[in-house]
Amino acid sequence: MCGRFAVTLPNDAMAQLFQAAPANNLPEVPNFNVCPTTGVHVVYSDTEMRRLGAMRWGFLPHWYKAPNDGPLLINARAETIADKPAFRAACRTRRCLIPTDGFYEWSKDVEGDRLPWWITRRDGAPLVMAGVWQDWQGPEDADPLRTCAIVTTAASADIAEVHHRMPVILGPDQWAKWLGEEGHGAATLMQAAPEETLQLHRVSRAVNSNRASGPELIEPFED
């Protein structure tokens, strides 16, 4: 799964990287502790071009009457995404990219305490996660709320000892297919990143708090 991540790439550089038109409401960067239900950077395609916009991290199915009307859907399992009522339409027609520097995952020590890890690409490139998105219309809201979830799959050998799930990570040569710009075949991308794509190190337990912030959250740490 993926429950926290970090983004430090400036918005204009992000727009250039994806050749996407940026919106005016992009989240502030850097953010070393991006949490569920907050706004995140998302790249998606419409009939005209790629766009870089802000979406609520926490997918809201159309039948929710309020954002807290059901489970918080921050992740969508690749193995079942095409069949789940919440995600199946989005999986076909509303796929997106969620750019990050890396993400956090937690293991447990012998006493059951949660130990945080910082996970990035070995090559230092942005870590781009596959996502799906949905516009949700609240009963009293004039404008729809655009929401998203991260697609996850079984973990690669690089990080399997820490956690058994991971985001689907896409390279630049896969972005267009996932966004639907190259026709069909996106389902073939929903698998773990090749071995030796990722690296990880322990970080401070400070990140266990969703109020923590600052670059020290991703620095190596030893108990």
C-alpha 102 chain-centroid distance:
10
DSSP string, 163-180: -SEEE-B--HHHHHHHTT
Tokens of 13: 């550089």
SS3 133: strand
Residue 13 DSSP label: H
152, 2 contact by CB (below 8 A): yes
Separation in Å, CA 110 to CA 5, 107, 113, 114, 157: 25, 10, 8, 10, 22
Residue 161 annotated among the catalytic residues of the structure = no
State the catalytic residue, choosing from 2, 91, 96, 148. Answer: 2
Residue 105 annotated among the catalytic residues of the structure = yes
Q: Is the dihedral of CA 219, 102, 73, 45 positive or negative?
A: positive
State the catalytic residue, choosing from 91, 105, 181, 222. Answer: 105
Residues belonging to the active site: 2, 105
